[in-house]
Amino acid sequence: MERQLSIIEIGAGPENKDDEGPGEIEFSVLQALSELEEQGLLNGKYIAIAATLKKTARAVDRGLSYGGKISVATAQLTKQLFDTLDKLPQPQGDTGSVFDTLDATISALTMEALA
C-alpha cells in the first residue's frame, strides 16, 4: 500500500492553472528580477535564487489572500523573501536620475522651507 505524506501542495499542475496572474508581491518581485536580468546581473547562483524568489513571492501572495489571520508559514516566507531580496545584486541606476538625487532634493527643499 502506497502512502502519500505530502501535506502542502507545492506546485500547481497543468490542470490547476492560476488564471488570476501574479499578485502584488509576485508582480513586484518579477519586475525587480527583470530589471536585474536586463542589466546582466542575474548570473551564477543568482539564477537559482531568482527562480526560488518567484515561487516564494507567489506563495506569499496566496498566503496573504486568504483573509483573516496570517499563518506562521506565510509570515516566515515573507521574512525569507525580503531577506533574500536584500542579498541580490543592486541594480545600477542612472547617474543624476530622480531616484539617485531624491535625498539631496528633499534635503535642499527642506532647508529652503525652513530658511
| 38-59 pLDDT tens trace | 999 999 999 999 999 999 999 9
CB within 8 Å of 46: residues ≥ 6 apart: 36, 88, 89
pTM score above 0.85: no
CB within 8 Å of 105: residues ≥ 6 apart: 98
Per-residue DSSP letter, 68: S
Residues in the chain with pLDDT < 50? 1, 5-17, 96-100
Question: How far apart, in whole angstroms, are the C-alpha atoms of residue 24 and residue 49?
Answer: 20
Which residue ranges make up each domain of the chain?
A: 24-91
Percent of the chain with pLDDT over 70: 68
Question: How far apart, in whole angstroms, are the C-alpha atoms of residue 51 and residue 36?
Answer: 13
Question: How far apart, in whole angstroms, are the C-alpha atoms of residue 29 and residue 22?
Answer: 10
